[in-house]
Structure formats: C-alpha cells, structure tokens
Structure 1
C-alpha cells in the first residue's frame, strides 16, 4: 500500500477518536482512499502514577485492542461500504509510532482527546508532537463541523503557508465549497511604532502579496481578506463557519526552532472545526503493513 492511496487514523475508542473516525471515513469516501486504523498500546518509558502490569502490553491487551478494531471495522463496512479499511495494533510511544506510520500515509487523522485506555492520545504532547513532526499532513478533529462550510487557510507569505494553500485549495475543490484565504499581519505596538509607519501602505503591500499567491490557485471560488491583528484570533474567527481550517507548521515567526508555531497550536486547541497542519512533503518509504 503506498502513501498516496490511504489515510491513517490514530484510534483509541474514545469519544474523540470516534468523532475523528467519522471524519476520516467521510474523507476516504470522498477522495477514493483506503483507511488504516492504528491503535497504539503505550509502553511506559518512565514509572507511571498508576503502575502498569509487568510485561504490559501483553498478549491479552493485544487481543482486546484487536477486538476493538475488528468491531470498528465491521461498523465502518456498514456505514461506508466503498471504503477499504485495514487495521494495525502497535506497541510503543504513541507519538513515535504515529509519526512512523505517517511516512506511508496520505493523511494522518487524530481526535482531539483520547482517554488513555490504550494510547493516552490527548491533544497535548502527543497531538502537538505528531502535528509538528509527521511526514504527511495531519488533521486534528475536535468536533463535527458544518459540512457546507468553507475551507479556510491562513497565509503569511512563508513557504509553509504556500504549501498549506495548495492543500486547502484541493480540499475546497474536492468538497465543492469556497476557499477563504486569510493573510494576517501584526501592526506594531503604539509604544514601539517606527517613525513614519504607514499602515495603509503595509495593508496595500500585504494585499498585493496575497493576490500574487492566489493567481495560480486551482480553487474556482475564492474569497480573500487581509487583516491587521493577532493571527490566532483572526484565524479562529475565519474558522467559525468553516468545515476545515488549514495552516502550515511554521511561518515567519522569529522562533524558527518551533516546528509547530504558536498560531497552529492555538488553533489545534481552540478551533471550532477540524484543523489541518501541513508540512513540506517528505518522500515516501515502502509500507510494511498488510
């Protein structure tokens, strides 16, 4: 199975994971992809507050996990009969396992909150780490969104945001909905405003830059806006009536070592719709799953 023909869902049977499952099945059906369910049995690297049984995860835990995925696969066959579903149970640290599986995936999907029964995949260290380091785009599904809403994308002129734009445009086309592109610039504080600062000139330059980015955009219905303000707040507003909001992993922020910027992290935790975090594509490696 190549990375171009399937999605991977990190699944732990929590309510958040089940919400993500519905989204992933719909996405697979819409794009003609297969879906791989991945359940990770977390092997503790340090002593846990509640001690794990010696040798956990043992074969009994693996059998329970496999039974969970069998049940979910059977239900998916009834709700989405055209979507091929495979499953895999892995041992290890969830973030590392999911990052590894992302090497051979078109898209990696996560729920926003797990319950720790199998993986502890809360949208905390695991979700943010996977979103930052995955080898394919990651979609975090916090809740169901309006299926008729637009696709929103945040742009700042960085290479990462232009990659996000291409992903967002394809998503909008496949859904038959408008693409809403938002370019945000942050005005200087009045206390530190440079002499001769011309906000109107900056706004005009940002608008011209956005227009240039959108020239070759494949989406047929595009709305665009340039906003001066706080990027996280502006993009949250743009996501209010969206079915998907798309961002790059890192823009023009000064802290270039932060692979997942503060804006992306803010959206992952607070957006009212699924959030796609898009990195520069990484060459695929052979898939070993069956």
Structure 2
C-alpha cells in the first residue's frame, strides 16, 4: 500500500490494548494500513555467571509474536487486517524508527513496567519527544477497569 500506515505500540498491557483498538478505528476511518509493533529488548548479560540467566533472543521474539497475535485477535477479532511486526531493540526506539514512515503513532500512556502514579511511562514520553510523525497517547486505564 502507498498510504502511510498508522503504527501502534503493543506490549499486551491494558493501555496498549486500548491504543490498539483506537488505532484500528482511526486507521479504518482514514483508509490507512495498520501496523501493530512489539519490540523485544535482549538483556545485556555480562560476567562469569552470565550464561545462567541467558535467554535465547529467538525465544523472546517468539513470545512477543504470540503476545502480539493474541492481543490483535482478542482486541480486534480474527478478521482484523493488521501488519504484526516484532523488532529487536528498545520499544521506544523501535516505535520512533517506525514513525519515520508513519501517518500517526499511537501508544498507551503506560506499559507493563509502569510505576504507580506516573502520568506517562518512559516509552510514551520518549516517543512523544522523538517521533517523526504525530503521536496520540491514550489515557491510562482506571485502576478498577
């Protein structure tokens, strides 16, 4: 497709699922393709005991693919037309890189690693500051939602 895509960051958390639903509705309304993006950051492990905690990056990528596929299916249904992409690297950097060709980037305000009380997580803050396209940050889910 020649149309610029809508890119949405997905980590499987409730805020990212809300962002996925919003991004899908927006992309549909403007006739744009939708890219759901997950990123896998391989932890740096050094020292003599590094191998004890080492996880094969391909296993992390496969888990991310499953999470992304499940998130798209559960949020948008089996018939959703979404390009599902898993990249290696820090989530914020992966989303910023994808923003270069995007019409719009959509993220949730906080991911799984968010600290209670923060208005926006570190990924959404980084994306807002560095994106090459407009960014929509969906507000946080209520604690009791």
Select the residue among 17, 22, 31 that pairs with 1:167.
22
**Distance in 2 between the 1:214 and 1:194 partners?**
34
**Distance in 2 between the 1:230 and 1:210 partners?**
16
How many Å apart are 1:184 and its aligned residue? 1.3
Select the residue among 56, 60, 81 that pairs with 1:198.
56
Q: Secondary structure of 2:119's partner?
A: coil
**Distance in 2 between the 1:164 and 1:254 partners?**
16
**Distance in 1 between the 2:51 and 2:118 partners?**
28
More displaced stretch, 161-170 vs 260-269: 260-269
**Distance in 2 between the 1:177 and 1:161 partners?**
19
**Distance in 1 between the 2:102 and 2:134 partners?**
9
Write the deviation string for residues 59-113 of structure 1: whole angstroms up to 9, x where unpaired. xxxxxxxxxxxxxxxxxxxxxxxxxxxxxxxxxxxxxxxxxxxxxxxxxxxxxxx
**Distance in 1 between the 2:65 and 2:128 partners?**
27
Bigger Rg, structure 1 or 2: 1
Q: Structure 1 unaligned segments of length 5 or more: list them.
A: 1-146, 283-290
Aligned to 2:38: 183
**Distance in 2 between the 1:171 and 1:152 partners?**
11
Q: Structure 2 unaligned segments of length 5 or more: list them.
A: none
Aligned to 1:155: 10
Whether 2:82 is the aligned partner of 1:227: answer: no
**Distance in 1 between the 2:93 and 2:140 partners?**
25
**Distance in 1 between the 2:117 and 2:111 partners?**
11
CA RMSD of aligned residues (A): 2.2
Contact 1:246-1:276 within 8 A present in 2 as well: yes
Matched length: 136
TM-score between the two structures when normalised by the length of structure 2: 0.83
| Greater relative contact order (Cα < 8 A, sep 6+) | 2
Aligned to 1:208: 66
How many Å apart are 1:194 and its aligned residue? 5.6
**Distance in 2 between the 1:254 and 1:171 partners?**
26
How many Å apart are 1:257 and its aligned residue? 3.3
**Distance in 1 between the 2:80 and 2:43 partners?**
35
How many Å apart are 1:258 and its aligned residue? 2.2
**Distance in 1 between the 2:9 and 2:72 partners?**
12
Q: Secondary structure of 2:46's partner?
A: helix
Contact 1:236-1:271 within 8 A present in 2 as well: yes
